[in-house]
Amino acid sequence: MTSQSLTFDFAEWPPALTESQLEELTLAATTYALSHGLLYLPPVAPNTNLPPIPTSAIHAPISLVPSPVPRHLFNDAKALQSAYNTLYARVAMDEEFLDKVMGAVEGVGRADDFVGTLWKGWKAVRDEGIAQPLQLGLFRSDYLLHTGEGPGLSLKQVEFNTISSSFGPLSERTAAMHRHLHAFTNYYGASPYFKAKNFPPNNTVAGLAEGLAEAHKAYGISGSQILFVVQPNERNVFDQRWLEYELLERHSIRVVRQTFAELAESAVIDPTTRVLRIVSPSPSARGTSEGIEISTVYFRAGYVPTDLPTPTHYATRIALERSRAIKCPSIPLQLAGGKKVQEVLAKPGVLERFLGSESKDTLEDMRKTWMGMWALDDKDPSSTSSTIAAAADVGITANIVKEPLGTLKARQQHASLVLKPQREGGGNNVYKEDIPAFLDRLPDAEREAWIAMELIVPPEQTGSYLVRAGGGAPPPGESTKSEARVKTEVISELGIFGWALFGDGDINGEKEVGWLVRTKGKESNEGGVAAGFSVLDSVLLVD
| DSSP secondary structure letters along 205-225 | HHHHHHHHHHHHHHH--TT-E
Cα 536 from Cα 529, distance rounded (Å)? 7
Q: Taking the C-alpha atoms of 171, 176, 180 and 181 in order, what is their torsion angle to the nearest 10 degrees?
A: 20
| DSSP secondary structure letters along 142-184 | EEEEE-SSTTSBEEEEEEEE-S----HHHHHHHHHHHHHHHHH
For residue 50, which amino acid is it?
A: L
| DSSP secondary structure letters along 310-362 | SHHHHHHHHHHHHSSSEEET-HHHHHHTSHHHHHHHTSTTHHHHHHTTS-HHH
| Integer angstrom CA distances of residue 354 from 91, 97, 122, 255, 351 | 7, 10, 21, 34, 6
For residue 250, which amino acid is it?
A: R
For residue 135, which amino acid is it?
A: Q
- Side by side, the strands of the sheet bearing 373-375 are 373-375, 451-454, 417-420, 430-431
CA angle 97, 103, 104 (to 5 degrees): 160
| DSSP secondary structure letters along 441-462 | HS-GGGGGG-EEEEPP-PPTT-
Cβ partners under 8 Å of residue 153, min gap 6: 3, 4, 6, 70, 73, 145, 146, 147, 459
Q: Which of 266, 305, 296, 252 lies closest to 421 in space, CA to CA?
A: 305
Question: Considering Cα of 367, then 371, then 375, then 378, what sign does the dihedral take?
Answer: positive
Q: CB 395: neighbour CB atoms within 10 A?
A: 6
Question: Considering Cα of 178, then 184, then 190, then 193, what sign does the dihedral take?
Answer: positive
> What region, left, alpha or beta, does residue 477 occupy, with left being phi > 0 and alpha being psi -120 to 50 degrees?
left
The answer to whether the beta carbons of residues 327 and 299 sit under 8 Å apart is yes
Q: Which residues are catalytic?
A: 140, 159, 161, 166, 339, 420, 424-425, 518
The answer to whether the beta carbons of residues 540 and 71 sit under 8 Å apart is no
Cα 387 from Cα 528, distance rounded (Å)? 35
What is residue 128's DSSP assignment? H
Which burial class, exposed, middle or buried, applies to 148 when counting CB atoms under 10 A from its CB (0-12, 13-18, 19+)? middle
Question: What residues does 459 pair with on adjacent strands?
Answer: none
